[in-house]
Structure 1
Amino acid sequence: MTVVSDLAPWLVQSRWPTVPIRYVAKLGTGHTPSRQHPEYWEDCTTPWITLADVWQLRDGTRDTITETKEKISRLGLANSAAVLHPAGTVILSRTASVGFSAIMGHDMATSQDFATWTCGPKLLPRYLLHALRAMAPDLRRVAAGSTHKTIYMPDIEQLHIPLPSMEEQQRITDFLDVKTARIDRMILLRQNQVELTGERSTAEIADIITGAAGDFGLVSMRRTVRRIEQGWSPQCEDMEAHPSEWAVLKTSAVSGGRFDAMRHKRLPADLSPNLDYVIHDGDLLMTRGSGSVNNVGVAAIADTGGRRLLLSDLLYRIHPDRGWSARFLAAVLRSAPVRGQVSLLLRGQSGQTIKLRGEDIKEIQVPAAPINVQEKVADQLTAISDESEFMKSALRRSVQLLAERKQALITAAVTGQIDVATACGGGI
Structure 2
Amino acid sequence: MSDVLVQRSEPVRVHGALGDWQAITIKFSGEVLPRERTEVFKGAMFAAYPGDLAFSKIDARNGAVGLIPDSIPKAVVTSEYPVFTPNADKLRADFLHHLLRAEHFRADLQRKASGTSGRKRVTPEGFLSLEIPLPGLEEQDALINAYTEALHRADQLEQEADAIERAGWKAFETALGVAPPPPLPDRPVFVARFKDVERWSHESILRNAVSGPDQQHSWPLTRLGDLVVDLENGWSPKCHDHPAGEGKWGVLKLGAVSFGTFDAVENKELPANLKPRPEYEVKAGDVLISRANVVRYVGACAHVEATPPRLLLCDKIFRVRFRPNSPLLPRFLAEAMKLRVVREHIESRLTGTSPTMKNISKPALLDIRFPLPDLIEQQRLVDDIGASRADAANKRTEAATLRQSAWATFEAALFTATEEPSA
Number of aligned positions between the proteins: 362
**Cα distance in 1 between the residues matched to 2:78 and 2:320:** 50
Pair 129,336 (structure 1): closer, same or farther in 2 beyond 3 Å? same
Q: Which amino acid aligns with 2:268?
A: K
Q: 1:362 to 1:290 in 2, by over 3 A?
A: same
Indicate the RMSD between aligned Cα atoms, in angstroms: 4.3
Write out per-residue CA displacement over residues 268-288 of structure 1, whole angstroms, 9 at most, x where no aligned residue: 222222344222332221122
- Distance of 2:3 and 2:277 partners within structure 1: 60
TM-score, normalization by structure 1? 0.68
Between Structure 1 and Structure 2, the one with more helix by share is 1
Aligned 1:264-343 pairs, distance under 5 A? 264-291=267-294, 293=296, 295-321=297-323, 323-325=326-328, 326-343=330-347
Structure 2 gaps of 5+ residues are 111-117, 180-215
Which amino acid in 1 is paired with 2:300?
Answer: V
Is 1:118 aligned with 2:84?
Answer: yes
Q: Choose 1 or 2 for highest CA Rg.
A: 2
TM-superposed CA distance for 1:310, in Å, is 0.7
Contact 1:285–1:300, Cα closer than 8 Å, also in 2: yes
Aligned to 2:263: 260
Deviation at 1:204, TM superposition (A): 1.4
Alpha-carbon distance in 1 for matches of 2:269, 2:275: 12
Is 1:70 aligned to 2:36, yes or no? yes
Any residues of structure 2 matched to 1:123-272 within 5 Å, and which? 124=91, 126=93, 127-135=95-103, 153-154=121-122, 162-163=131-132, 168-210=135-177, 214-272=217-275
Q: Where do residues 81-120 of structure 1 align in structure 2 (5 Å cutoff)?
A: 83-91=46-54, 94=59, 101-105=66-70, 106-109=73-76, 117-119=83-85
Answer whether contact 1:222 1:363 (CA < 8 A) is retained: yes
Q: CA–CA distance in 2 between the matches of 1:97 and 1:313?
A: 41
Contact 1:103–1:129 (CA<8 Å) still a contact in 2? Answer: no
Quick check: 1:85–1:109 contact (8 Å CA) kept in 2?
A: yes
Instruction: State the alpha-carbon separation in 1 of the partners of residues 3 and 290 from structure 2.
Output: 52
SS in 1 for 2:229: strand
Q: 1:50 aligns with which of 3, 25, 39?
A: 25
Deviates more, 1:269-278 or 1:411-420: 411-420
Name the SS of the counterpart of 1:153 in structure 2: coil
Residue segments in structure 1 that go unaligned for 5+ positions in a row: 1-18, 34-38, 58-64, 143-149, 421-428
Q: Structure 1 pair 200/302, CA: closer, same or farther in 2 (3 Å)?
A: same
What is the one-letter code of the residue matched to 1:330? A
Q: Secondary structure at the match of 1:70?
A: coil
1:137 and 1:266 map into 2 onto residues whose CA distance is 40
